[in-house]
């Protein structure tokens, strides 16, 4: 699906401009069937309003007939049968008008839902186009709430603009013409003044309520964000026993929401009362004018009833004017943040002449690369190295040296500020992002899985893969046996973020997913740093199989995982401090050798402690064994 390209902006001070920008979604150029639905809905809308105007006429004629006055058409006898026919006509007209309204709504339903779907789709796609920086700085809970309210606001605006604003305008014009032609300018003047004051009051009061509505939305977003953050970090909350603190923070946000929501409903009551007062005064004036005219013999009793019926009918769309305006304004408030999201420009975009990456051997080259997340704090300061095709290069160094930044730049989550990154001699900024990421497989340190089946998470590497392919990838990743032992096998659910699996099991799923993708370039970003020594060795064995004959960039914390790399790059403060093979760097006795010795001592101390514990456990068991 390709959404309309027209730029959308929300302007709270210019709702008509926003509605104009929404028009391509209500009149979709690529959907002739939907445009025909709009045409037919409009025709039915007009016919329904004409029929609606006939309803009070039937009421007037029936009243005059029952009062012994000649009927206006001169076609019906003044007998009871004529009055009954007019009463029947009155009710038939009401029934036809109601049926036409329902038919109009049914015809337009798909148009409104199409607009919602298109804009929701466009927002979803846009969110995935935005940079990693944007998503790291946003809260998922608040973002989802903004999109949810925005799509509902769009439906409100589309539906009420077409189905209520236009019919109300038509009915008002017809009523004004009838009063002017049938009863004189004074009736038209009173009607016009009443409607004008009514609309003015509605607009002013609704604008006042918008600020309250915005405050309520902000509190709602904040409360939802806190709830989702707390539930996503359920274990952390339990670890520190902070359930009461989380509940208190959530309740504080809900208290602000409660106050704002109460103000919204209170202000709505005042708005409705003001509208009723204005229209009631206008109605009273016109009814007094008609009553006096009846007493003077200038109007019949049917005219009095007719004017009252017309005013009652006009009250309904007038009430909708206030309701529609409030809903549209509130809808604009709900979608203005969503439109702001649509206006956020992606930090990383394909160049106009970007071409698909032509992968040959998969050689990677970083040439004098400079990068900083914040200009005041440079991360990479002139990094240059190559990863030859089919070879493995490891990058190690202290925390904060810029290791993981390399993988993010290679993926084009960010663009370098200076220098180049090339694959087979092609600058990654000159090729399409889709083709670039299609040739790179990533096994990250923190594997987050979708809350779906194990098969779905493995198949995510290649959605078109068959079941046999999924199982084969699991075999290579050394997790097939574990999966088959589960009650539901590959159909087992992994839970939110994969929490039903251990760290090692999640890593194997990530490896299987990458195997299924079968990329020529592999990036291992701290893939085993969060695992225990035994699990690390098992995972490393699987990674060694995966990386064979692939260009592999390994970003590592544990140096034991990179000793067989063809070259090791040692970063320090954003610069290359040392480079060489494991043996060469050990012989050099520099930073790498120092890191290696510290890690080896830590491992030896851990193993010694483990041995002591095992001996203590064995002693306890032996002392507790009865003598033979």
Q: Tell me the range of 5-9, 346-350, 541-545 where mean pLDDT is highest.
A: 346-350
pLDDT reported for residue 73: 47
Token couple for 430: 């000159």
Assess whether pLDDT exceeds 60 at residue 208: yes
Lowest mean pLDDT among 82-86, 103-107, 424-428: 82-86
Q: How confident is the model at residue 331 (pLDDT cuts 50, 70, 90)?
A: confident
Give the integer Cα–Cα distance in Å for 536 and 281: 82
Beta bridge partners of 427: 422
Q: How far apart are the first and last CA of the chain?
A: 81
Region 364-372: mean pLDDT is: 93
pLDDT reported for residue 423: 93
Q: CB under 8 Å to 96, separation ≥6 — which residues? A: 51
CB burial string 433-448: b at 16+ within 10 A, e below: bebbbebbbbbbbebe
pLDDT reported for residue 431: 92
Region 448-477: mean pLDDT is: 87
Q: CB under 8 Å to 251, separation ≥6 — which residues? A: none
pLDDT reported for residue 384: 93
Give the integer Cα–Cα distance in Å for 419 and 71: 91
pLDDT in tens, 489-523: 888 888 766 667 877 788 888 888 888 888 899 88
pLDDT reported for residue 487: 87
- Do residues 287 and 301 lie in contact, with contact meaning Cβ atoms separated by under 8 Å? no
Give the integer Cα–Cα distance in Å for 156 and 166: 15
pLDDT in tens, 115-134: 778 877 887 888 777 777 77
For the beta carbon of residue 125, count every other beta carbon within 10 angstroms: 12
For the beta carbon of residue 605, count every other beta carbon within 10 angstroms: 10
Q: Give the residue from 543, 366, 580, 571 showing the smallest Cα distance to 445.
A: 543
Give the integer Cα–Cα distance in Å for 417 and 409: 10
Lowest mean pLDDT among 240-244, 314-318, 329-333, 544-548: 329-333
pLDDT reported for residue 17: 57
Give the integer Cα–Cα distance in Å for 120 and 274: 37
pLDDT reported for residue 10: 44
pLDDT reported for residue 443: 83
Backbone angles phi, psi at 552, to 5 degrees: -125, 125
Give the integer Cα–Cα distance in Å for 522 and 411: 11
Give the integer Cα–Cα distance in Å for 182 and 293: 13
pLDDT in tens, 209-246: 777 777 787 778 778 877 877 887 776 787 677 888 88
pLDDT reported for residue 332: 73
Give the gyration radius of the chain's Cα atoms: 36
Q: 3-state SS of the chain: helix, strand, coil percent to 5?
A: 65, 10, 25
Lowest mean pLDDT among 130-144, 289-303, 349-363, 575-589: 130-144
Q: CB under 8 Å to 212, separation ≥6 — which residues? A: 260, 263, 264, 267
Domains in the chain (CATH in brackets) are 15-343 (1.20.1560.10), 357-439+519-602 (3.40.50.300), 450-513 (no CATH)
Backbone angles phi, psi at 274, to 5 degrees: -65, -40
Assess whether pLDDT exceeds 70 at residue 533: no
Instruction: Pick 476 or 81 by higher pLDDT.
Output: 476
pLDDT reported for residue 19: 62
Region 403-423: mean pLDDT is: 90
- Do residues 337 and 151 lie in contact, with contact meaning Cβ atoms separated by under 8 Å? no
Q: How confident is the model at residue 613 (pLDDT cuts 50, 70, 90)?
A: low
Lowest mean pLDDT among 79-83, 213-217, 571-575: 79-83
Assess whether pLDDT exceeds 50 at residue 12: no
pLDDT reported for residue 530: 54
Region 276-284: mean pLDDT is: 85
pLDDT in tens, 143-161: 676 777 777 777 777 667 6
Q: What is the mean pLDDT of the chain?
A: 78
């Amino acid at each position: 699906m390709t959404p309309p390209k027209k730029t959308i902006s929300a302007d709270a001070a210019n709702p008509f401009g926003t509605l104009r920008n929404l028009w391509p979604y209500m009149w979709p150029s690529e959907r002739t069937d939907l445009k025909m639905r709009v045409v037919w809905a409009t025709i039915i809308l007009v016919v329904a309003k004409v029929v609606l105007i006939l309803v009070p006429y039937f009421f007037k004629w029936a009243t005059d007939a029952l009062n012994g006055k000649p009927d206006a058409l001169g076609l019906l006898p003044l007998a009871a049968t004529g009055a009954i026919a007019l009463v029947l006509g009155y009710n038939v007209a009401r029934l036809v008008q109601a049926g036409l309204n329902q038919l109009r709504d049914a015809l337009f339903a798909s148009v409104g839902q199409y607009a919602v779907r298109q804009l929701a789709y466009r927002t979803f796609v846009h969110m995935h186009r935005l940079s990693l920086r944007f998503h790291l700085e946003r809260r998922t809970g608040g973002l989802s709430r903004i999109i949810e309210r925005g799509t509902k606001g769009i439906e409100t605006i589309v539906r009420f603009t077409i189905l209520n604003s236009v019919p109300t305008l038509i009915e008002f014009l017809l009523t004004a013409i009838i009063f002017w032609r049938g009863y004189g300018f004074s009736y038209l003047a009173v009607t016009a003044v009443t409607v004008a004051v009514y609309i003015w009051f509605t607009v002013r009061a609704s604008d006042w309520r918008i600020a309250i509505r915005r405050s309520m939305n902000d509190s709602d977003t904040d409360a939802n964000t806190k709830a989702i953050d707390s539930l996503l970090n359920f274990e952390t909350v339990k670890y520190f026993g902070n359930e009461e603190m989380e509940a208190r923070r959530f309740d504080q946000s809900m208290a602000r929401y409660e106050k704002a929501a109460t103000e919204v409903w209170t202000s709505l009551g005042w708005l409705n009362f003001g509208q009723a007062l204005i229209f009631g005064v206008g109605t009273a004036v016109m009814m007094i004018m008609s009553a006096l005219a009846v007493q003077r013999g200038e109007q019949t009793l049917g005219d009095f009833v007719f004017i009252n019926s017309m005013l009652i009918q006009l009250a309904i769309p007038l009430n909708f004017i206030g309701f529609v305006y409030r809903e549209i304004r509130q809808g604009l408030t709900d979608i203005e943040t969503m439109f702001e999201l649509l206006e956020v420009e992606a930090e990383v975009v394909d160049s106009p002449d970007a071409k698909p990456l032509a992968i040959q051997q998969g050689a990677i080259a970083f040439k004098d690369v400079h990068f900083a997340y914040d200009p005041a704090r440079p991360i990479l300061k002139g990094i240059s190295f190559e990863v030859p095709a089919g070879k493995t290069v490891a990058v190690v160094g202290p925390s904060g040296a810029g290791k993981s930044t390399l993988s993010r730049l290679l993926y084009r989550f960010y663009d370098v500020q200076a220098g180049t990154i090339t694959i087979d001699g092609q600058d990654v900024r000159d090729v399409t992002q889709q083709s670039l990421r299609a040739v790179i497989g990533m096994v990250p340190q923190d594997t987050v899985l979708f809350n779906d089946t194990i098969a779905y998470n493995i198949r995510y590497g290649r959605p078109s893969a068959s079941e046999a392919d999924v199982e084969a990838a699991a075999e290579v990743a050394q997790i097939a046996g574990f999966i088959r032992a589960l009650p539901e096998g590959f159909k087992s659910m992994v839970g939110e973020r994969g929490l039903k699996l251990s760290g090692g099991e999640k890593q194997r799923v990530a490896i299987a997913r990458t195997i299924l993708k079968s990329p020529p370039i592999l990036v291992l970003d701290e893939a085993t740093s969060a695992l225990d020594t035994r699990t690390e060795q098992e995972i490393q064995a699987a990674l060694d199989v995966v990386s064979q004959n692939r260009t592999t960039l390994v970003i590592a914390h544990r140096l034991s995982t990179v000793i067989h790399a063809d070259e090791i790059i040692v970063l320090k403060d954003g610069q290359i401090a040392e480079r060489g093979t494991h043996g060469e760097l050990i012989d050099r006795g520099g930073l790498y050798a120092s890191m290696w010795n510290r890690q080896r001592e830590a491992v030896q101390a851990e193993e010694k402690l483990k041995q002591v514990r095992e001996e203590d456990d064995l002693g306890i068991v032996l002392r507790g064994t009865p003598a033979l």
